[in-house]
Chain A
Amino acid sequence: GQQVMQIPQYQHVQEGEDFTTYCNSSTTLSNIQWYKQRPGGHPVFLIQLVKSGEVKKQKRLTFQFGEAKKNSSLHITATQTTDVGTYFCAGATRDNYGQNFVFGPGTRLSVLP
C-alpha cells in the first residue's frame, strides 16, 4: 500500500536557525496536507497543496509540492520557540476515496532559546 516517509525524525535547532522537513511518498499524490501538533495537543491543519510544483507561504513557513507530486517540503525561516512541535505531512492518492490521507511519521522540532 501507499507509504509516506518523512525525514528527519527529530531536529534540534537554535532559535533563529532555519528548519526543513521532507516528505516522500511511494506513489504519486493527488494532493498533500501539512499538520502541526504541539506536545500534548492534537494535529492542526496548516495547508494543502494540490498542483505540481506548487509553492505556498504562510509568514515564515514555506511549503513546496514536487514536480512529480511524490514529495513535499516544509521550510521554516528563523525558528521561534512557538514553532516547537511535530510536523506531519499527509498524502492522498487517486486510489483513495479522495477524502482519506496517509500520514507520515512526523518530524519533531525542538527549538532551543
Chain B
Amino acid sequence: DAGITQSPRHKVTETGTPVTLRCHQTENHRYMYWYRQDPGHGLRLIHYSYGVKDTDKGEVSDGYSVSRSKTEDFLLTLESATSSQTSVYFCAISGRYSNEQFFGPGTRLTVL
C-alpha cells in the first residue's frame, strides 16, 4: 500500500464544533483528494489539491475547507460540524504519471 495515513481514525464530536482531519503521505505525489462516503452515494469529492497551496472544490464542498501548506499534508476542516457531515472520510493521492488513486484507511466521523 502507498504511504498514506489519516488521523484521527475515529472521532465523535458535537454539532457546531470545528473539526480538522489530517491526511499525510510519504509518496511525494502531487495530487491529493478528500472524499466522503455515505451509503448509496459511493465516494463524493469534497476538495482536491494539485500542488502546495493549490486547491479546488469538488461536488460537495459546502461546509468544508482545506489547506495544503506542504506536499505531504492535506487538511480538511469542518468549520462548524453538522449532523449531515457524519460520514466516513477518505483521503486519496495520485501521482504525476498515473491517474491511479491510492486511498488512506479512512476516518469515521460522527457528529451528534
Contact = CB atoms under 8 A, between A and B. Distances in A.
Contact of B58 (A31, A92, A100): A100
A99 B31 contact: yes
Main DSSP-derived SS at the B contact region: strand
Contact of B41 (A1, A99, A105): A105
B22 interface: no
B33 to A, nearest CB: 8
B42 A104 contact: yes
A57 to B, nearest CB: 18
Interface in B79-112: 90, 92, 94, 99-106
17 contacts: A31-B99, A33-B100, A42-B103, A43-B92, A43-B103, A45-B100, A88-B43, A97-B48, A98-B99, A99-B31, A100-B33, A100-B45, A100-B48, A102-B45, A102-B59, A103-B44, A105-B42
